[in-house]
């Protein structure tokens, strides 16, 4: 839905989710004064606490309400040791991704300060790529089951779903992005040497789609080799496209390359529709309540959301401010600094204000 004042549903979730979401919201609110960004934020208490209290995960009608009344959703994280089945995260997070048909999970991997990467002698330009993770099917389709559960003869099947339509649209999205952003190469990762059916479909569709983008190099790697090359030579990547599970795994590795999960941002996108923005990290139970979580992943996620909503200048201002804070060592402990979650985001806010004066 398009309106002048964009409406954002904020679902802070569990663990460190509320702590980092609070800071992202603080930044969004500051942008009203510095950049004239008018957002209407509405909080929703969906998460482990509500599930344990009321047995409700994603309330009835929630998805229709989000589609009807909101332009974007900002989420913190879902996951709580008191819910070992992860049932609420499955309903809320995977539910929104699947049922709102948010087929692009866009996860940039960008080194903001050369000191942050665990790789030796890398410059910031060596780690700068974007992962297009398929976000609605693959191993996340929920298909499978048990036979003779609980017996010695137990069989568990876990199926993977790859549709022609699903594979094609994520590959097209990756090439379109490369074209628009002037990126030179799209690399597709799969395991088609073993997964003969799904892998075969990905291979064929990738080759077919690539024909329409003659100016962009279409490259393929097996996902195991990609995991190795991401460490040995990350500079070779521009745009990576892959399935849901491989994308999940590779983007935690990508997060490590840029300085850790505390920095990684993501968007769950269906162009033109209400889309969901959330940091890559989870609820990090060991850090929760201590005021030590890095808010940068959430704040950079807010910047991605701003860009999606058409607030390009504000989005860039946030990214620059995060970079300046990090360069100045004004960071939480995971990045080698001394600051609390709130102090780290206060530093980012100061950089935004200073640049806007
Ligand atoms: P996690 O991302 O929560 O944390 C792994 C480790 O990364 C932490 O222990 C911490 O050392 C570091 N880390 C993560 N975020 C950080 C931050 N903001 N600042 C500083 N350090 C940070 O992954 P996990 O421990 O595997 O999972 C915990 C729970 O979160 C599980 O229930 C899992 O299912 C869930 N999860 C949710 C999401 C999501 O909601 N999008 C994503 C990943 C995991
Ligand atoms: C992520 C998370 C989720 C996923 C979990 C919490 C379901 O790891 O967003 O990367 O596997 O997609
Ligand atoms: Mn993950």
Q: What is the pLDDT of residues 35-71, one digit of tens each?
A: 999 999 999 999 999 999 999 999 999 999 999 999 9
> Is 49 inside a domain boundary?
yes
Residues 15 and 84 in one domain: yes
Tell me the ligand closest to 86's alpha carbon.
1
Query: Which residue's alpha carbon is at the smallest distance from atom 43 of ligand 1?
Result: 282
* Atom 11 (ligand 2) nearest CA: 248
Tens digit of each residue's pLDDT (9 = 90 or more) over 11-42: 999 999 999 999 999 999 999 999 999 999 99
The count of domains in the chain is 2
Which of residues 209, 232, 258 is at a domain's end? 258
Within this chain, do residues 89 and 189 fall inside the same structural domain, yes or no?
no
pTM higher than 0.95, yes or no? yes
Residue 1 pLDDT greater than 60, yes or no: no
User: What is the Cα–Cα distance from 4 to 72, expressed in whole angstroms?
Assistant: 13
- Where residue 40 sits, what CATH number does that domain have? 3.40.718.10
User: 339 and 217, same structural domain?
Assistant: no
Query: Which range of residues forms the domain containing residue 245?
Result: 118-258
Among residues 258, 282, 307, which one ends one of the domains?
258
Please tell me whether residues 222 and 296 are part of one structural domain.
no
Best residue among 281, 291, 296 to mutate for probing ligand 1, ranked by most atoms within 8 Å of CB: 281
How far CA 94 is from CA of 30, 51, 105, 159, 325, in Å, comes to: 31, 16, 12, 16, 33
Task: Give yes or no: residues 80 and 160 share one domain.
Answer: no
238 within some domain: yes
Query: Sorting pLDDT into bands at 50, 70 and 90, what band is 119?
Result: very high
97 and 172 fall within a common domain: no
In a domain, 329, yes or no: yes
Residue 4: the pLDDT is 75
CA dihedral 46, 48, 54, 59 (to 10 degrees): 30
For ligand 2, the distance from its centroid to the CA atom of residue 34, given in whole angstroms, is 34
User: What residues are neighbours of ligand 3 (ion), with CB under 5 Å?
Assistant: 248
Atom of ligand 1 nearest to the CA of 77: 40
Residue 264 inside a domain? The answer is: no
- Together in a domain, 253 and 289: no
Largest CA distance in the chain: 70
């Amino acid at each position: 839905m398009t309106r002048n004042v964009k409406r954002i549903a904020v679902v802070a979730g569990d663990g460190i989710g509320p702590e980092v979401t609070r800071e992202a919201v603080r930044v969004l609110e500051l942008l009203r004064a510095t950049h004239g960004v008018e957002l209407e934020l509405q909080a929703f208490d969906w998460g482990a606490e509500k599930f344990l209290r009321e047995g409700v995960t994603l309330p009835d009608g929630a998805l229709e309400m989000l589609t009807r009344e909101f332009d974007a959703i900002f989420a913190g994280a879902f996951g709580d040791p008191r819910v070992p089945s992860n049932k609420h995260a499955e309903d809320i997070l995977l539910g929104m991704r699947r049922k709102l048909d948010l087929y692009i999970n866009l996860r940039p991997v960008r080194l903001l300060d050369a000191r942050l990467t665990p790789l030796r002698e890398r410059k910031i330009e060596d780690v700068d790529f974007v992962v297009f993770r398929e976000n609605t099917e693959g191993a996340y389709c929920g298909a499978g089951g048990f036979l003779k559960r609980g017996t010695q003869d137990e069989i568990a099947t876990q199926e993977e779903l790859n549709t022609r339509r699903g594979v094609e649209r994520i590959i097209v999205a990756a090439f379109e992005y490369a074209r628009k952003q002037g990126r030179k190469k799209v690399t597709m990762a799969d395991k088609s040497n073993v997964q003969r059916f799904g892998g075969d479909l990905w291979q064929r569709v990738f080759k077919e789609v690539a024909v329409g983008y003659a100016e962009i190099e279409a490259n393929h790697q097996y996902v195991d080799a990609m995991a190795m090359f991401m460490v040995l030579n990350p500079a070779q990547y521009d745009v990576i496209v892959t399935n849901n599970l491989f994308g999940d795994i590779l983007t935690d590795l990508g997060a490590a390359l840029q300085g850790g999960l505390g920095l990684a941002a993501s968007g769950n996108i269906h162009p033109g529709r209400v889309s969901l923005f959330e940091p890559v990290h989870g609820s990090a139970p060991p850090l929760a309540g201590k005021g030590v979580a890095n808010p940068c992943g959430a704040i950079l996620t807010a910047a991605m959301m701003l860009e999606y909503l058409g607030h390009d200048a504000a989005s860039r201002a946030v990214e620059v401010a995060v970079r300046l804070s990090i360069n100045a060592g004004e960071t939480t402990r995971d990045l080698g600094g001394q600051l609390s979650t709130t102090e780290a985001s206060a530093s980012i806010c100061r950089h935004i204000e200073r640049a806007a004066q």
